[in-house]
């Protein structure tokens, strides 16, 4: 499983990364995290608001910091 975090690297982006890792760990899943901070790459991905989270290439959260429980539901 691959998490892609889109954003500038701000505190909200870091919190979203932590929450995604916590969600995967709670389910016992193996994962890798990729962080995309380049503005052009974020725009090319079709993201208008950051932070955003993609799971295996599919954008599932945009413009908010989802908590670990919300992310766990997306992993089900």
Query: Which residues are catalytic, by number?
Result: 10, 13
The C-alpha atoms of residue 21 and residue 46 are separated, in whole angstroms, by: 23
The residue to which tokens 């995290």 are assigned: 33
Listed in order, strand segments (DSSP E) in the chain are 2-6, 32-36, 52-55, 58-62
């Amino acid at each position: 499983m691959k998490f892609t975090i889109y954003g500038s690297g701000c505190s909200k982006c870091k919190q979203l990364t932590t929450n995604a890792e916590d969600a995967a760990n709670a389910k016992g899943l193996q994962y890798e995290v990729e962080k995309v901070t380049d503005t052009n790459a974020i725009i090319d991905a079709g993201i208008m608001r950051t932070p955003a989270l993609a799971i295996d290439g599919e954008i599932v959260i945009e413009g908010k910091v989802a908590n670990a429980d919300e992310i766990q539901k997306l992993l089900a």
